[in-house]
Amino acid sequence: MFKTVAKILVAASAALLLLSGCANPGPQVAAVVGSDQITVSQVDTLSRAASAAYAQVGSESVPTWGQLRAPVVNVMVTGRLVAVAMQIANVQVTDAQLSQLYSSDDFLKALAADPNGAELAKALAYMSLAQNSDAIQASYAQAVANNPVTVNPQFGVWDPSAASLSGKTGSLSSEPSS
């Protein structure tokens, strides 16, 4: 009898942790989209590549890689959701189409040319394609509904209604807004 009660208590405790949001994927994971993880290491690599691409194109104000971490998480999460929407809508994008899109923007071109930034360039390209495709836009809500998103609080809070990061962090060390 005691073992049964103990098992029930363990199961109930695990369920409470999951429901309370304490079961986040861990400090090494920046976000989870469906079953797909985006690691903090990936975010840092992509952020450094983006900062270098900004510097390469002669941007007046070059953001540091640290300033780019949360925006990179947002782009990577959104890019993955757009990729799912493209699958739902049966929209295919060729390498030639991506190359054409990259060549139309100096930042994207620099980012895509860097092996460490190519994944971010592709996510940005997918987002650009989605803006001009009714089929992708129509499938995006389904992609969001079928792929739960969990974001590490250091990068922000995912707002499912806006399907983007809210700009607020879940960090306990952040200053309260007045």
pLDDT in tens, 57-99: 987 888 998 899 999 999 999 999 999 999 999 999 999 999 9
Structure tokens at 130: 């989605």
pLDDT at position 161, please?
81
141: three-class secondary structure by DSSP: helix
In this structure, the number of other CB atoms found within 10 A of the CB of residue 64 comes to 11
Whether the per-residue pLDDT at 22 is higher than 60: the answer is no
Locus of tokens 């971010």: 120
The mean pLDDT of 170-177, rounded to a whole number, is 44
Query: How many other C-beta atoms lie within 10 A of the C-beta of residue 40?
Result: 18
Tell me, what DSSP letter sits at residue 175? P
State the pLDDT at residue 176. Answer: 37
**Which has the closest alpha carbon to 117: 65, 80, 77?**
65
Reported as type and span, the H/E element at residue 31 is strand 29-33
Q: Distance (Å, rounded) from C-alpha 127 to C-alpha 121? A: 10
pLDDT: which is higher, 29 or 10: 29
Query: 């007046």: which residue's tokens?
Result: 60
Question: With bands split at pLDDT 50, 70 and 90, how would you rate the model's confidence at 168?
Answer: low
Q: How many angstroms separate the CA atoms of 11 and 20, rounded? A: 14
What is the mean predicted confidence (pLDDT) over 107-113? Answer: 96
Whole-number mean pLDDT of the chain?
83
Average the pLDDT over 155-171 and give the result. Answer: 76
**How far is residue 153's CA from residue 43's CA, in Å, rounded to a whole number?**
14
List Cβ neighbours of 139 (8 Å cut-off, separation of 6 or more): 84, 85, 86, 88, 89
